[in-house]
Amino acid sequence: MRNITFVLALCLSPFAATASSVESVLPDAQTRGEATFRFLGQPIYEARLLTKGGAAFDWNTDFGLELTYLRALTQFDLVEGTMREMNRIGAPLPSESQLTACFDDVTRGDTYLAVSDGPSKIHFYRNGQRACTLAGPRITRNFMSIFLGDNARSARFARRLQGV
């Protein structure tokens, strides 16, 4: 019985770490919407928008966006993909070195949680551990528009995340 309890604790610990980190940085966070992002039909990640009390999405209120990866991606893929998408939507780009400090290789099941801290700061957590902070004018809207903006690559994906 002890072994079963230990195995269950090990299996569930990543979920507990993510849940506790969300709650510690975004009190009363509840899921507002969820969506799976696909590229050429292949699922890449599951996304979840967290708002205080599950309230409607509002750029002027802090929120969290959690991505759970469904396949392995390299740090290069994450950094270049982010820069390419921000460029596509016309947002000012953070430096490649800033993004490289934030992102690392991911494998199936890894999570990144991005939590806004006002309009000019985003804190990133990888698998429940603080990874980095991006700061700069309008970085919240500029970065998060990749997923939630009117000009996101998939309008349907953005709407599902926003719960509309």
Higher pLDDT, 142 or 3: 142
What is d(CA 63, CA 46) in angstroms, rounded to the nearest whole number?
17
pTM above 0.75, yes or no: yes
Residue type at position 69:
Y
- Average of pLDDT values for 35-63? 96
Three-state DSSP class for residue 22: helix
What is d(CA 119, CA 34) in angstroms, rounded to the nearest whole number?
23
Above 50 in pLDDT, residue 9?
A: no
Could you report the per-residue pLDDT of 77-128, keeping only the tens digit for each?
999 999 999 999 999 989 999 999 999 999 999 999 999 999 999 999 999 9
Chain mean pLDDT for the chain? 88
- Average of pLDDT values for 145-153? 95
Domain boundaries, the chain: 16-162
Domain 16-162 = CATH 3.50.50.60: no
Tell me what pLDDT residue 21 has: 61
